[in-house]
Structure 1
Amino acid sequence: MAMIDDAAGIEAIRAFGRVGTAMITPFTADGAVDYAAVEATADYLVRLGNDLLVVSGTTGEASTTTDLEKAEILRAVISATAGRAKVVAGVGTNHTAQSIALSRSAEECGADGLLVVTPYYSRPTQDGIIAHTRAIADSTQLPVMLYDIPGRSAVPLTTPTILALAEHPRILAVKDAKGALGASQDVLGHGAIAFYSGEDALNLPLLAIGASGVVSVVGHVAADRISTLVSLVASNDVAAARRIAADLAPLVDAIMNHMPGVVAAKAALELLGVIPTRATRLPLLPADAQQVEAVRLALQRSDYLTC
């Protein structure tokens, strides 16, 4: 695979890989973390083509797992992947001290990096976001990927904020789910920090303007094709990349646009036999029969499921 030629991108790829999935957290039917299924899912995702797994992010239902569960989930994923992929721990909260504690725990567990979402609900100023994020980055020796998702956090990272945070030696990348390609291109033009697509529908355009890789939800089932997409863009074969993106579009729509992504991803993994149950924790409900059928049809049309 061709490598992008900017230093920030190369450093980020070394730290985080290029093709990532924000991994679900499997639960048993009675709501406990299913650690055997955690390990099975992590192994499946690596074999499918992921070289990066993000644990305890939004798709991992991190808001409903305890700090102790987060540590055990992380250990299980690290054990199952056995060095075959980078394992990044979601540690962002709207409480700086808790995020620091989660970061230190992740480092002790052996994580390769940290994902730090913009503090949600409290709506801090940009200066508050900078102070919060720098405090987290200062608390360990692990590389940090920012997570810019104002649809959930309410406050976007502005260009000056991202560039200020990029001055920190361990803040290497942004998982970009802001949906503002012009703003992303503006930051990328400075060459100070790498970008990863955090929105599956925008994987191709973000890669085309210089993103280093992706952190996907659809990667639970299609990391093989997403990996091909990333390779094609890196090789400047945009025409072939467009064909892959077009082929993936119906599956992206089915997983991302009709129910929460984690609900669809769990339904897909259950249909594929990777996890025994699509159980979620409230306030999320598992996919109902109609939603499962929609996911089944999308998997069949994409040749990921034969029956």
Structure 2
Amino acid sequence: MRVVHRDTGDETAAVTRRLRDGMARGVLSFPLTSFREDGTLDAAGYRSYVAAQLATAPGALFPACGTGEFFSLDEDEYRQVVTLAVEEAAGCVPVVAGTGYGWAQALRFARVAEEAGADALLVLPHYLTAAPQDGLVAQLERIAAGTRLPLIAYQRGQVAYTADSLRRLARVPGVVGLKDGHSDLDRLQRLTLAAPGDFLFFNGAATAEIQARAYAAVGVPAYSSAVHAFAPEIANAFFAALRDGDTGTADTLLRGFYVPFVELRDRVPGYAVSLVKAAARLRGRPVGPVRAPLTDPSAADLADLKTLLATGLDLVGASL
């Protein structure tokens, strides 16, 4: 396997600065991947959808990640998805492509992302098996050694770093940040205190807004927003309320939209993606269905989603 010689100096520092600036400016967009009814990739629909996401000024764009159904893309589809995202972004925001599975497969996708022009990589949790801390660190070390792109580690599921492991990761050239999906604030506080001051952290909970204030209290105000994938008006209004200390608006959106949305999301496994995609279709976005093993929402859940979406949009003065 060919090893790419990394640039871990000025280029990585510049990308890290852009990501930090973007995280302070807006929510992080994790675009859905557009499929046709027969399950094939809809490149034109995806380009249109990504352009609409970018028009709402996210802090960064994360194509082909969990919300984008990375796990269902083959290598050629992945190449198209990342290339289109880079073309549409045109340098206006950083583009962080997903990669994952074992380190050897992750490097195959990493090389594709490099060729497509991505700025960085989000390393999704490895497949299936639990692993000791030494193995989790070694996984990132092997990926970092084989790509010039900066890496953001993603702890979720079977991946959870200790403070000592985080210190080791932060010393790996090119590892610049951590996305947290566990919402264990005790552990997260220990990680933030163990990390160097320039290390990036962001909240990657399934509906991050629910816990955004708690994350901010331990020094992690930045977050990804699945809601932004279908209702950027709501996501941006909530972000602005938090930024401006407008607790009244934040609480209104939490009570009237976010909490009911989470309750609906929790009805069926996989709704964290398929419900988001259904909501985007309700807005007229050309994203199509989910791929197996996910399933689209039932008719009853879709009706509840439509009612809730209309309520949420009304709260911010928008409409379906």
TM over 0.5: yes
1:98 correspondence with 2:105? yes
Residues 301 and 240 of structure 1: CA distance in aligned 2, closer, same or farther (over 3 Å): closer
Deviates more, 1:22-31 or 1:181-190: 181-190
Partner of 1:74: 82
Instruction: Output the amino acid matched with 2:307.
Output: L
| Deviation sequence 1:212-265 (CA, Å, 0-9, x none) | 511221221343444454455456666765555445423642564234221111
Counterpart Cα distance in 2 of 1:160 and 1:11: 25
Paired with 2:234 and 2:313, the residues of 1 have a C-alpha distance of: 12
The superposition leaves residues 86-143 of structure 1 with CA deviations (integer Å, 9 ceiling, x where unpaired) of 21111111x2111111111101100011000232312222111111111112222222
From 35, 48, 65, the equivalent of 1:40 is 48
- Contact 1:207–1:233 at 8 Å: present in 2 too? no
Q: How many residues align?
A: 294
Q: CA deviation at 1:196?
A: 0.7
Q: Is the 8 A contact 1:218 1:252 kept in 2?
A: no
1:274 to 285, 293, 296: 285
Normalized against structure 1, the TM-score is what? Answer: 0.86
Alignment-derived partner of residue 194 in structure 1: 200
Any idea what SS the aligned residue of 1:174 has?
strand
Structure 2 spans left out of the alignment, 5+ residues: 1-13
CA contact (8 A) 1:49 1:223 kept: no
Tell me: CA distance 1:230–1:61, structure 2 relative to 1, closer, same or farther (3 Å): same
1:296 aligns with 2:306: yes
Cα-Cα RMSD: 2.6
| Conserved? CA contact 2:203–2:222, under 8 Å | yes
Taking a change above 3 Å as real, the CA distance of residues 276 and 157 of structure 1, as seen in their structure-2 partners, is closer
Identify the residue that residue 169 of structure 1 maps to in structure 2: 173
Aligned to 2:146: 139
TM-score by length of 2: 0.83
Match of 1:158 in 2: 162
Q: Higher relative CO (CA 8 A, sep ≥ 6), structure 1 or 2?
A: 1
Match of 1:182 in 2: 186
Paired amino acid for 1:203: A
Out of 25-34 and 288-297, give the one that drifted further: 288-297
Structure 1 residues 167 and 233 mapped into 2: Cα distance closer, same or farther (>3 Å)? farther
Which residue identity does 2:92 align to in structure 1?
A: R
Aligned to 1:4: none
Check 1:208–1:261 CA distance in 2 against 1; reply closer, same or farther (3 A cut): same
The percentage of counterpart residues that share the same residue type is 25
> Secondary structure of the equivalent of 1:86?
coil
**Structure 1 residue 64 and structure 2 residue 68: aligned?**
no
> Secondary structure of 2:306's match?
helix
Alignment partners' CA distance in 2, 1:177 and 1:99: 20
Q: Which moved more, 1:17-26 or 1:293-302?
A: 17-26
> 3-state DSSP class of the match of 1:83?
coil
User: Do residues 126 (structure 1) and 133 (structure 2) align?
Assistant: yes
**C-alpha distance 248-194 of structure 1, shift in aligned 2 (>3 A):** farther
Q: Look up the match of 1:7.
A: none
Which amino acid is the alignment partner of residue 191 of structure 2?
Answer: V
Taking the aligned partners of 1:65 and 1:251, their CA distance within structure 2 comes to 31
Bigger mean CA deviation after superposition, 247-256 or 122-131: 247-256
Q: Shift in Å at residue 190 of structure 1? A: 3.3
Equivalent of 2:217 in 189, 208, 211: 208
Letter in 1 for 2:71: S
C-alpha change, 1:244 and 1:264, in structure 2 (3 Å) is: same
Answering whether residue 227 of structure 2 is matched by residue 218 of structure 1, we say yes
User: Would the aligned equivalents of 2:167 and 2:195 in 1 still touch at CA under 8 Å?
Assistant: no
Q: Residue 223 of structure 1 aligns to which amino acid in structure 2?
A: P
Structure 1 SS opposite 2:176:
strand
**4+ runs deviating over 3 angstroms:** 10-13, 222-248, 304-307
- Which one is further off, 82-91 or 124-133? 82-91
Partner of 2:8: none
Structure 1 residues 258-294: Cα deviation after superposition (integer angstroms, max 9, x where no partner)? 34221111111111011163x1111111222112112
